[in-house]
Chains A and B, each alone.
Chain A
Amino acid sequence: MFDWLERQAPKLVLAPSFAAMLLFVYGFIGWTAWVSLTKSRLLPKYEIDGFGQYERLFNAPRWDVAIENLAIFGILFIGVSMALGLLLAILLDQRIRAEGALRTIYLYPMALSMIVTGTAWKWILNPGLGIEAMVKGWGFDTFTFGWLVDPDMAIYTVVIAGVWQASGFVMALFLAGLRSVDSEIIKAAQVDGIPTTRIYTAIIIPSMAPIFLSAFIVLAHLAIKSFDLVIALTGGGPGYATDLPATYMYAMAFSRGDLGQAASSAMIMMMIVFAVVVPYLYSELRTRK
């Protein structure tokens, strides 16, 4: 008996998590898929009605905007956060004085929820209250920075606030990566007279490939779940110019009592996640073997 327990221990340890995951993630995805095929309004109903909700979804101009925004936001948010995170990490890694303080300053936004910082960002980015008004106050009358109130540009302010929040975390990841690159190899390269930039592009950065993947998964997860960010900063506006799939779904499910519609948008979101994450997981797990 004890032997059996000992042999099965690894599986027994994993079993509760596995069961919970099957129920609370995959069971719930299945539930959502089911509801997306019904005419549920205020509360879920379970009579299957077909793909009418998906048809409505694809007919809604607002959903097109949400998907387009997710593409713009996702690419820029992940790209800029990575680039900025890497840059800051490299700069901080030059034996800088007050590194600890600077690192904390770059990292702290991750500690705050956007519900807290949204109002402050709203004021800073508002042309009449924030940066634009301040710079104009210094005498630069022609300066304008009105992205927040411009339907075509507002999504980029969401990127700014998103990058502000997450880039410090990415910086921490890369800094950790830089610190664990083998210093012997670098010294050898320096002795050989290879220029600094070459050392970074040819040796250090390629050796951090796993970090790029970790950073990617954290950022991609934040991008797809971005909800507080939009609600607090623009409320989806001007108009619905900064709507994202997550905010669309929330509006349908909870403000509008249109649960079937919300479920169909959730399913499309899950498919996008699947398309992005599964290749990552596949490559990640293959290389480990």
Chain B
Amino acid sequence: MRKLNVLAASSAMSLVAGALIAGAAAAEPQVEVLHWWTSGGEAKSVAVLQQEFSERGGTWTDMPVAGGGGDAAMTALRARVLSGNAPTAVQLKGPAIQEWYEEGVLSDISDVAEAQGWAGVLPEAIAAHMKCDGAWCAAPVNVHRVDWIWANAKVLEDAGIEMPTTWDEFNAAAEKLQGMGVVPLAHGGQAWQDATLFEVVVLSLGGPEFYRSALVDLDPEALKSDQMKAVFEQMRTLRGFVDDNFSGREWNLATAMVINGEAGFQIMGDWAKGEFVAAGKTPGEDFLCASAPGAGFLYNVDSFAMFEVSGDDKIAGQKLLAELIMGPTFQETFNLNKGSIPARTDVSLEKFDSCAATSSQEMAQSAEGGSLLPSYAHGMALRGAQAGAITDVVTAHFNSEMSADEAVQMLADAVANSM
């Protein structure tokens, strides 16, 4: 009986999908895709999507705009929307999706999502980001984990230290490395990197509950709490573990320091893995990956939102694109290239490395434990104005002699001023 149901459901699904494709065939699917994956492995991954799209009879117009983690693309997007010439699909993520929806410019892709059963294969927290007022309005591509600690295996071995599991252990290990003349923490002094470090410390020192109330709900009490002071104090300690020339350094140059053995650790999202692999290093042997101390999982999910356009060909293009983005083949190839893990939980991880396996396993655990949390530094938790206000304070504190007391006061003021 159960079996029969599944059969019935799946045949119904393929019927719907068939109808969709039939509809698509009537008008040749068209998309213009605005994205900021313009070079190297990322560009190759998008090319995979484009290829699948044209195999299904569609025409893909590429509109790549790189820079500033999507800032330049968002500038172009605003100009395009205001001039009444919105691209059909746009790389968008986090609350920005809902913000654009509120401007009344996103289109509904619920029929595809329901036909493909997205709700069943996405973690609930991530599915919530893809919905606007209950309707599906975006398709997720991947899950990056932000709270990783990377280490050079040989440096750690020479110093006789293990991968730290608490911040006290981390601090002790770092001091030992410092004594040996190795830079303990490779870090690049750019605002978003400071913010990345900060959110990892907030989660791992304060725990998931504290992270949620401070950086998701923006509770003024949490922002001014002693716990937050402790976070800023740990940030000050970490600042002592960074070399003097870190200002403005790109994250990949910081990763290179770990690769070369100039530095011991780096705290950075899993895109750093690509640098290690490109330098011919093997995870688990040459370099180590471990989640930051404590429970929790900070995700950074890339996704595509569909903009309101007219014309059957364009609408057919949006539906086909949404379907392909969530397709298991694309999710596998794309994420193998990018260092992240598929957003779909039902994709086999056979071809992925040990770091990705850890990531996937801990994502499932955190989802159950309620500690699967959005990264604020990567635009998943807050709207731009609030996230930016927090980053201003974090980076001002990290790059000056400001005390933790001053910092929490400034933090509360800045958040209030950004509302």
Contact = CB atoms under 8 A, between A and B. Distances in A.
A62 B397 CA distance: 12
A214 interface: no
Interface in B225-245: 243-245
B404 to A, nearest CB: 16
B385 A261 contact: yes
- Greatest chain A CB density within 10 A among B75, B99, B388 is at B388
- Greatest chain B CB density within 10 A among A146, A148, A251 is at A251
Interface string B94-120: 001001101100000000000000000
B34 to A, nearest CB: 14
A42 B102 CA distance: 10
B398 A239 contact: yes
Contacts of B392: 61-62, 240
A113 to B, nearest CB: 14
Contacts of A136: none
A41 B398 contact: no
A235 B191 contact: yes
A145 B61 CA distance: 48
B78 A256 contact: no
Contacts of A146: 244-245
A46 B383 CA distance: 21
Contacts of B247: 148-149, 154, 234, 237-238
A59 interface: yes
Contact of B248 (A59, A235, A255, A257): A235
Interface in A139-160: 146, 148-149, 151, 154
A237 B244 contact: no
A159 B396 CA distance: 21
A18 B345 CA distance: 61
Interface in A120-139: 122, 126-129
Given A237-B399, A240-B392, A240-B395, A255 B244 contact: no
A241 B385 CA distance: 19
Interface in A230-289: 233-241, 251-252, 254-258, 261
B399 A257 contact: no
A60 interface: yes
Contact of A251 (B103, B388, B398, B400): B388
B410 A43 contact: no
Contact of A42 (B100, B388, B397): B100
B246 interface: yes
A149 B248 contact: yes
Contacts of B248: 122, 126, 148-149, 233-235, 237-238
B384 A255 contact: yes
Contacts of B417: 56, 59-60
A238 B399 contact: yes
A254 B75 contact: yes
Interface of A is mostly: loop
Interface string B367-410: 00000000000000001110110001001111110000000001
A257 B78 CA distance: 10
Interface of B is mostly: helix
A119 to B, nearest CB: 9
B190 interface: yes
Contact of A41 (B68, B385, B399, B414): B385
Nearest to A150: B247
Contact of B245 (A41, A56, A149, A255): A149
Given A255-B71, A256-B385, A61 B245 contact: no
Interface in B164-215: 189-191, 194
A257 B396 contact: no
Contacts of B399: 151, 237-239, 241
Nearest to B72: A254
Given A62-B392, A257-B96, A237 B385 contact: no
Given A42-B99, A43-B103, A255 B74 contact: yes
A237 B195 CA distance: 13
Contacts of B121: none
A235 B388 CA distance: 14
Nearest to A44: B82
B395 A237 contact: yes
Given A128-B245, A148-B248, A257-B384, A239 B99 contact: no
A75 to B, nearest CB: 24
A240 B247 CA distance: 11
A126 B245 contact: yes
B189 A149 contact: yes
Contacts of A61: 392, 396, 410, 414
Contacts of A127: 244-245
Given A237-B190, A238-B189, A255-B71, A41 B388 contact: no
Interface string A33-62: 000000001111000000000001001111
B99 A257 contact: yes
B7 interface: no
B81 interface: yes
Contact of A149 (B99, B246, B395, B400): B246
Contacts of B387: 256
A44 B103 CA distance: 10
Nearest to B76: A254
A241 B103 CA distance: 34
Nearest to A233: B248
A256 to B, nearest CB: 4
Contacts of A148: 247-248
10 contacts: A42-B78, A42-B103, A61-B392, A62-B392, A126-B249, A127-B244, A129-B245, A240-B395, A254-B74, A258-B388
Interface of B: 68, 71, 74-75, 78, 81-82, 96, 99-100, 102-103, 189-191, 194, 243-249, 383-385, 387-388, 392, 395-400, 410, 413-414, 417-418
Lowest 3 A-B CB distances belong to which pairs?
A128-B245, A239-B399, A149-B247
